[in-house]
Chain A
């Protein structure tokens, strides 16, 4: 089953085209790496999938439905089946625990159940001892892990990650990759991760997408895309010859 289907999607900012995708299907339960140089439209693709933006033309269907033909309540219900972690996540004023509990709170999950799930999510990212810490005192890696726990606690069907490990030290990268992998393998969560890092994409992805200047160049099983890419652009990117 597909969690997303894109058809003839275009998106422009101030009449500057940033994304054009003829067709794309994202299948349930898989791990996708979205790759491409800066300005390729990777983040825009993620924002369209998370229903933060509406395509200028074409259709982005989520879980078989066109969210932009639905009412607000139904669109919210669709958005609640997925979540996204930004490259530089914003943590709300307060403690780590309050941040991780936010999504459960807006869904009306009662406090005892909330606390239990928050603890489990923090343990997954190695932050169980920092539940009561104020977010102002967190390091970059801890903040990113807290943001990941805040997303994972929701047990989403789809997890969208926008370069979640950019600028982090190897230990934090490894912790985050392990948590994402576990979530996918244990819960069957579909993971779509934007990354510049080819090695990370090789480690994590089952399927890979390559975007260049807003166009989807190729999509396929990760092993195939990495070993024998169809496009010379993809090859240049993978082999580090693409300057961006």
Chain B
């Protein structure tokens, strides 16, 4: 019953155009979007590069990547917190408890996932794709691009997994963002707060909105992936 009422409240909340709620939604989307975008820009070429070019120590790199794919968010948050805290090596940047710190923490979480899954996606077929492109006269850069293009479904899956990781994440953003109302409060930290306050209906309503946002984001990624084939 509580869940159904929560879903109804979610609808009311969306239609109420409450500025605070929309502020939280906007910040959530912006932080997760920038984090996944950054992780994808770095992770997709990096994963492709690792898959295409064997180098000494590649196994170690792969194992490390797989390990960091399961990095507990609070640990990532703690490390970023210590780096950005006043006494930390990056304290001079004064980023702690800002959306930028939250983005940084989420990049740390999404990057190994996107890099690792891209590597797997590219590894599957890359020899055939690379050699076909080479026999047709593609240069090294064109081969690289072709391999990425051919693995685009797998890469879109990697980005989707990265997005899922950051959108659902709460521990790291809570630690480095501080859940400050109107400044660093995002959907997940707001849900935790409302649950602690005993506002379960509001928490479920926020959770429902978060799910809808995740659905829309995945839908867009699926479209980018190249349609329904």
Contacts and interface: CB of A to CB of B under 8 A. Distances in A.
Interface of A: 50, 52, 72, 76, 79-80, 83-86, 89-90, 92-93, 102-103, 106-107, 134, 136, 150-151, 154, 160
Given A83-B137, A106-B138, A154-B137, A92 B132 contact: yes
Interface of B: 125, 128-129, 131-140, 142, 146, 149-150, 152, 226, 229
A102 B133 CA distance: 8
Most buried by B among A80, A89, A93, A154: A93
A106 B132 contact: no
A92 B150 contact: yes
A92 B129 contact: yes
B229 A52 contact: no
A106 B128 contact: no
A135 to B, nearest CB: 11
A92 B148 CA distance: 12
B128 to A, nearest CB: 4
Nearest to B145: A106
Given A72-B140, A90-B128, A136 B135 contact: no
Given A72-B140, A106-B139, A134-B229, A90 B132 contact: yes
A102 B226 CA distance: 18
Given A72-B140, A106-B139, A136-B229, A92 B146 contact: yes
Contact of B131 (A52, A76, A92): A52
Contacts of B138: 102-103, 106
Contacts of A93: 149-150, 152, 226
A31 to B, nearest CB: 19
12 contacts: A50-B135, A52-B131, A52-B135, A76-B139, A85-B135, A103-B138, A106-B133, A106-B142, A134-B229, A136-B229, A150-B136, A151-B135
B139 A154 contact: no
Contacts, number: 55
Nearest to B137: A80
Given A89-B132, A90-B129, A107 B137 contact: yes
A83 B138 CA distance: 11
A70 to B, nearest CB: 14
Contact of B137 (A52, A79, A85): A79
A136 B229 CA distance: 10
A72 B138 CA distance: 12
Contacts of A89: 132
A121 to B, nearest CB: 13
A92 B132 CA distance: 9
A104 to B, nearest CB: 9
Nearest to A103: B136
Contacts of B136: 83, 102-103, 106, 150-151, 154
Contacts of A84: 135
A72 B140 CA distance: 9
Nearest to B138: A106
Nearest to A134: B229
A24 B131 CA distance: 25
A76 B137 CA distance: 7
A154 B136 CA distance: 8
Given A92-B129, A107-B137, 10 more contacts: A76-B137, A79-B134, A80-B137, A85-B135, A90-B128, A93-B149, A102-B138, A103-B136, A106-B138, A154-B136
A68 B122 CA distance: 27
A62 to B, nearest CB: 14
Contacts of A50: 135
Nearest to B140: A72
Nearest to A50: B135
A90 B133 CA distance: 10
Most buried by A among B137, B140, B146, B152: B137
**A-B CB proximity, top 9 nearest:** A103-B136, A80-B137, A90-B128, A84-B135, A106-B138, A90-B132, A106-B142, A103-B137, A76-B139
